[in-house]
């Protein structure tokens, strides 16, 4: 693309300064080389351009960066010169290659380069660009990208766009001096450098206008604006004598290709707008999702109001926190996850109920989460303790009675409107027992806390009550699997229709 032969490249590399540590090793010709040490003018200019682009790799996306590279390296004019009238396919392939970069706007240039290298190494086949797609189409180009190209008809757009002023920090191009105000204090010579930079930018923009107005082979269409353009607009940079130019004559075109009819006038009044806005607000439907399964902290919000007291005089399952001795078991999130998984697999018959099968499965789950298996449950995860906990829990009389109809990990949903806002609740019960009519009867919630506090127990009860209200189940069971205690939960006075 650049036009350097292999012999010229070898001569350039041979002439580069050698490293002091490795004087017999040829230096590498890459973007890390000092361009001032390259004597060949074309190679030095090419390396400087690529180094300028390389410094932008961390603050711009690959599409913009490669588009600038195509412009700076004059890829399109070179392809036109090389292929002549057969350059359409090559130009279409350039545009196709640039379009591939849009998917890497976040991942960056390195990821795009790795993907293209892998595709090249694997000889992956790709569909070539279609030059015939441009014959009856409108192509959008920036003025920079249009250098060296021509089209039958060219229409500059966005000419009323304002010109961006130089940034607060400027560089004097003559002396290579960097000027930057600090806390609003301008350094000496800053105003002159800023004025010079503005003048240079204006000259560059006038040169861009020359590019824009010389790309058309047959017709250049310039917009004649109804309003006076501001001085900071692009169209104000040069005097195009728009008033002296003839208007575009479209009378020779078919009727359906002529200019569109004028849009209907907007007769909307303030009062009519207010009525329409109120109608939209009245039809607006607000939805709030609630998920009780994700709230496991004792100080979290409770989704439903308090119902009847949970503990009654006849209930004998309330834990006696004063006399109970703390079990020598180390609790934690990992232990709870493994126990819930074991309960689920036993109820779905993926894992056997015998101690040997449960111990082996518990050991595999401990390894899966990256934890060591220990013998003492007081210092870590013990497969024997986990298997024994599941066996004891499933042997409880209340659980044995429900086992034939118990479905694990059952999703439940409900919806209710409060003050014009729909509150949709979604959750997953640990296990649900169904009656002969197929309706939920009992909701079971496994709790793996070693020493649950009274606040945590009250919170768990409110959580299970939410599930009872959602499903319409008659009662719920909170199973403290470590101690083997079961707590009864009753529904609220108001049940949400499932």
pLDDT at residue 444 above 90? yes
Q: Note the pLDDT tens digit of each residue in 171-195.
A: 887 888 888 888 878 888 888 888 8
Q: Are the beta carbons of 87 and 72 closer than 8 angstroms?
A: no
Q: Which two tokens stand for residue 392?
A: 């004891």
Q: Note the pLDDT tens digit of each residue in 385-414.
A: 999 999 999 999 999 999 999 999 998 888
Domains of the chain plus CATH, in order, are 6-134 (1.10.486), 158-244 (no CATH), 292-317+327-489 (3.90.320)
Q: Which two tokens stand for residue 374?
A: 């220990």
Q: Note the pLDDT tens digit of each residue in 119-172.
A: 888 877 776 666 655 555 677 888 887 887 888 889 988 888 877 776 778 888
Q: What pLDDT is stored for residue 309 in this prediction?
A: 32
pLDDT at residue 79 above 50? yes
pLDDT band per the 50, 70, 90 thresholds, residue 258? low
Helical spans, DSSP H, in 284-354: 333-347
In this prediction, what percent of the chain has a pLDDT beyond 90? 17
Does the global pTM surpass 0.75?
no
| Sequence-distant (≥ 6) Cβ neighbours of residue 18 within 8 angstroms | 24, 25, 27
Q: Are the beta carbons of 225 and 245 closer than 8 angstroms?
A: no
Q: Note the pLDDT tens digit of each residue in 41-50.
A: 888 888 888 9
Across 132-141, 265-274, 444-453, least confident range: 132-141
DSSP string for residues in 137-189: SPPP--TTTTTT--EEEE----TTPBPPPPPSSEEETTTTEEE--BTTBPPTT
pLDDT band per the 50, 70, 90 thresholds, residue 445? very high
Q: Are the beta carbons of 27 and 16 closer than 8 angstroms?
A: yes
Average per-residue pLDDT for the chain: 81
Residue 50 CA to residue 71 CA, distance in Å, equals 12
Q: Which two tokens stand for residue 8?
A: 């010229």
Q: Mean pLDDT, to the nearest integer, of 259-272?
A: 79
Residue 68 CA to residue 81 CA, distance in Å, equals 20
In this prediction, what percent of the chain has a pLDDT beyond 70? 86
Q: Mean pLDDT, to the nearest integer, of 448-461?
A: 88
pLDDT at residue 325 above 50? no
pLDDT at residue 248 above 90? no
Q: Note the pLDDT tens digit of each residue in 297-316.
A: 444 444 433 333 333 233 33
CA distances from 337 to 91, 285, 326, 352 (A): 58, 37, 21, 18
Secondary structure class of 313 (helix, strand, coil):
coil
Phi–psi pair at 18, nearest 5 degrees: -85, 155
Beta bridge partners of 487: 478
Q: Note the pLDDT tens digit of each residue in 333-376.
A: 899 999 999 999 999 999 998 999 999 999 999 998 888 988 88
Question: β-strand 286-290 against 421-434: which pairing, if any?
Answer: parallel
Q: What pLDDT is stored for residue 133 in this prediction?
A: 53
Phi–psi pair at 422, nearest 5 degrees: -80, 125
pLDDT at residue 257 above 70? no
Q: 3-state SS of the chain: helix, strand, coil percent to 5?
A: 40, 15, 45
Q: What pLDDT is stored for residue 293 in this prediction?
A: 56
Residue 140 CA to residue 338 CA, distance in Å, equals 58
Helical spans, DSSP H, in 84-145: 88-99, 109-121
Total Cβ atoms within 10 A of residue 284: 8
Q: Mean pLDDT, to the nearest integer, of 64-90?
A: 84
Comparing CA positions, the residue from 480, 462, 479 lying closest to residue 298 is 462
């Amino acid at each position: 693309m650049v036009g350097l032969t292999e012999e010229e490249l070898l001569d350039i590399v041979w002439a580069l300064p050698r490293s002091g540590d490795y004087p017999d090793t040829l230096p590498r010709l890459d973007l890390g080389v000092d361009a001032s040490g390259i004597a060949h003018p074309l190679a030095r200019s090419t390396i400087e351009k690529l180094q300028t682009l390389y410094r932008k790799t961390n603050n711009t996306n690959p599409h913009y960066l490669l588009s600038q590279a195509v412009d700076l390296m004059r890829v399109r004019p070179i392809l036109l010169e090389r292929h002549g009238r057969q350059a359409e396919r090559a130009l279409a392939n350039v545009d196709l290659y640039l379009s591939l970069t849009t998917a890497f706007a976040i991942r960056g240039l390195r990821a795009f380069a790795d993907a293209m290298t892998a595709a090249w190494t694997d000889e992956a086949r790709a569909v070539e660009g279609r030059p015939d797609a441009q014959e009856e189409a409108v192509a959008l180009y920036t003025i920079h990208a249009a250098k060296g190209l021509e089209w039958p008809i060219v229409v500059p757009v966005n000419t009323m766009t304002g010109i961006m002023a130089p940034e607060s920090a400027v560089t004097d191009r003559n002396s290579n001096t960097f000027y930057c105000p600090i806390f609003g204090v301008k350094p000496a010579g800053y105003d002159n450098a800023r004025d010079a930079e503005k003048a240079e930018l204006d000259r560059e923009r006038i040169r861009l206008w020359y590019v824009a107005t010389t790309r058309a082979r047959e017709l250049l269409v310039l917009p004649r604006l109804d309003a006076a353009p501001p001085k900071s607009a692009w169209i104000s940079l040069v005097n195009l004598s728009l008033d002296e130019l003839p208007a575009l004559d479209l009378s020779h075109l078919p009727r359906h290709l002529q200019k569109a009819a004028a849009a209907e006038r907007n007769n909307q009044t303030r009062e009519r707008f207010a009525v329409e806005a109120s109608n939209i607000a009245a039809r607006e439907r607000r939805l709030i999702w609630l998920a009780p399964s994700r709230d496991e902290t004792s100080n979290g919000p409770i989704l439903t109001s308090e119902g009847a007291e949970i503990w009654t005089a006849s209930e004998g399952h309330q834990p006696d926190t004063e006399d109970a001795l703390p079990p020598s078991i180390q609790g934690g999130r990992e232990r709870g996850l493994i126990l819930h998984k074991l309960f689920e697999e036993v109820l779905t018959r993926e894992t056997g109920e015998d101690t040997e099968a449960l111990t082996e499965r518990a050991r595999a789950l401990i390894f899966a989460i990256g934890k060591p298996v220990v013998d003492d449950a007081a210092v870590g995860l013990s497969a024997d303790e986990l298997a024994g906990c599941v066996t004891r829990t499933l042997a409880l009389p209340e659980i044995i009675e429900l086992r034939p109809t118990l479905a694990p990990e059952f999703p439940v949903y409900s919806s209710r409107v409060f003050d014009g806002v729909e509150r949709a609740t979604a959750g997953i019960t640990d296990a649900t027992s169904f009656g002969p009519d197929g309706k939920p009867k009992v909701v079971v919630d496994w709790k793996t806390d070693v020493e649950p506090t009274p606040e945590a127990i009250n919170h768990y009860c409110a959580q299970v009550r939410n599930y009872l209200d959602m499903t319409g189940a008659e009662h719920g069971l909170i199973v403290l699997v470590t101690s083997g205690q079961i707590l009864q939960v009753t529904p609220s006075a108001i049940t949400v229709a499932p």
